[in-house]
Amino acid sequence: MTEIDTLVPHSARIWNYWLGGRDNYLVDEAAGAAYTALFPGIVTIARGSRAFLGRSIRYLVEEAGVRQFLDVGTGLPTVDNTHEFAQRIAPESKIVYVDNDPLVLVHARALLTSTPEGETAYEELSLHDPERILEAAARTLDLTQPTALILSGILGHVADHDQARDLVRRLLDGLPSGSYLSVNDGSRGTDPDYELAQNAYNRTGAMPYVLRTVDQIAAFFDGLELVDPGVVSVPLWRPEGTASEPIGQHGGLGRKP
């Protein structure tokens, strides 16, 4: 196993800090607090992203009948993880989690608490190796059946847009018609302080994360049928209860024809 680096902030751990978790180190807390001082809205963004994930999974299970999930860039376990969202509604759901951060692997046991009817698995692999991800996922999922590919807050870690689109395409190529893509990522153009804080974070030595334009995020869904209301700021995507204000995190859900 790769050694855990406690000297530079890590995406999974800083995200955990903003979500109110305790699975982070001093270096993450310091970077998280410095970010929040420049742009306090990041906490709402992290929570808004998780809430979108929950609503998109609910749609996938209840409305689209999906029972298989491939969640790449899982992050550290939190209050509600993909399998908990899905198995609460459909206990037979199967989930494969993928992340390349060694601390996520250490905590993976919390991701493997499947219902007896369903199944969960964790694979330590990189998004940059989509074919290996598909090969590993096929040990748990039947990839001839519709599968939801979840990319929540990870694509910003691939700086080159064409490369990010290529990775999404290669993963979707391994999934059959009727499969879905759920993406949400940080977006540019909502608040200059967000961009300022992100640029400062990217200079800490941490794995950089790029904020994309809404059009760039929408381009991940090229060739897919977008579920209403399309690619929008995440709180506006099928809100439950009162809709809240737009934030700099855009996402959507698309079906492979």
Ligand X SMILES: C[S@@+](CC[C@H](N)C(=O)[O-])C[C@H]1O[C@@H](n2cnc3c(N)ncnc32)[C@H](O)[C@@H]1O
- At residue 54's C-alpha, the angle toward residues 48 and 58, to 5°, is 145
* Residue 153 in the binding site for ligand X (CB under 6 A): yes
Return the structure tokens found at 214.
């809404």
Please tell me whether residue 152 binds ligand X under the rule CB under 6 A.
yes
Closest CB to ligand X among residues 77, 146: 77
- Choosing from 57, 61, 86, 104, the residue that interacts with ligand X (CB under 6 A) is 104
Q: Which residue in 9, 11, 248, 249 binds ligand X (CB under 6 A)?
A: 11
- Binding flag, residue 182, ligand X (CB under 6 A): no
According to the binding rule CB under 6 A, does residue 157 interact with ligand X?
yes
**Residue 49 binds ligand X (CB under 6 A):** yes
Residues 169, 7: Cα–Cα separation, whole Å: 34
Helix axes 192-202, 42-58, angle to 10 degrees: 100
Q: Does 101 bind ligand X (CB under 6 A)?
A: yes
As a whole number of angstroms, the distance between CA 175 and CA 149 comes to 9
Residue range at the interface with ligand X (CB under 6 A); choices 33-41, 57-65, 137-145, 152-160: 152-160
Asked whether position 154 contacts ligand X by CB under 6 A, the answer is yes
Phi, psi of 65 (to 5 degrees): 70, 20
CB of 171 to ligand X, least distance (A): 11
Which three-class secondary structure state does DSSP give residue 80? coil
Residue for token pair 């000297």? 7
Residue nearest to ligand X (CB): 75
The three-class DSSP label of residue 199 is helix
Q: Is the peptide bond before 146 cis (omega within 30 degrees of 0)?
A: no
Q: Which is nearer to ligand X, 152 or 198 (CB)?
A: 152
DSSP for residue 231: S
Shortest distance in whole angstroms from residue 48 CB to ligand X: 10
Residue count, binding to ligand X (CB under 6 A): 21
Q: Select from 23-31, 147-155, 189-197, 247-255 the region that touches ligand X (CB under 6 A).
A: 147-155
In 3D space, the residue among 256, 225, 248, 240 whose CA is nearest the CA of residue 51 turns out to be 240
Contact 208, 157 (CB under 8 A): yes
Shortest spacing between CB 164 and ligand X, in angstroms: 11
In the complex, minimum distance from the CB of residue 177 to ligand X, in angstroms, rounded to a whole number: 25
Rule CB under 6 A: which residues touch ligand X? Answer: 11-12, 15, 49-50, 53, 73-75, 98-101, 104, 126-128, 152-154, 157
